[in-house]
Amino acid sequence: MCYGLDGDNVRAGLCSDLGFSPEDRDENIRRVTEMAKLFADSGTVCICSFVSPFRKHREFSRQV
């Protein structure tokens, strides 16, 4: 099974309370990383489409 997570859709729902401050961007990536991990743990391939211009966010996601 496969599921796609799109940044625009996640921002409209799960992360609708977040803006684009550095702290909110950190939280947005934390949430989507945790969500992708839940899919992976269930055996679902999760394809993530997010703008991630900061290396620290990409590194964080790889390590979780």
pLDDT of 54 > 90? The answer is no
Q: Where are the domains of the chain?
A: 2-63
Q: What are 20's two structure tokens?
A: 């684009």
pLDDT at 4: 93
What is the sign, positive or negative, of the torsion defined by CA atoms of 44, 2, 64, 5? negative
Q: What are 9's two structure tokens?
A: 């859709």
pLDDT at 52: 80
Q: What is the C-alpha separation between 61 and 64, in angstroms, rounded?
A: 5
pLDDT at 64: 80
Given a contact cutoff of 8 angstroms between Cβ atoms, the answer to whether 61 and 35 are in contact is no
pTM, two decimals, is 0.82
pLDDT digits (tens, 9 = 90+) for 5-41: 999 999 999 999 999 999 999 999 999 999 999 999 9
pLDDT at 47: 93
Alpha helices in 1-64 (DSSP H): 7-12, 22-41, 55-63
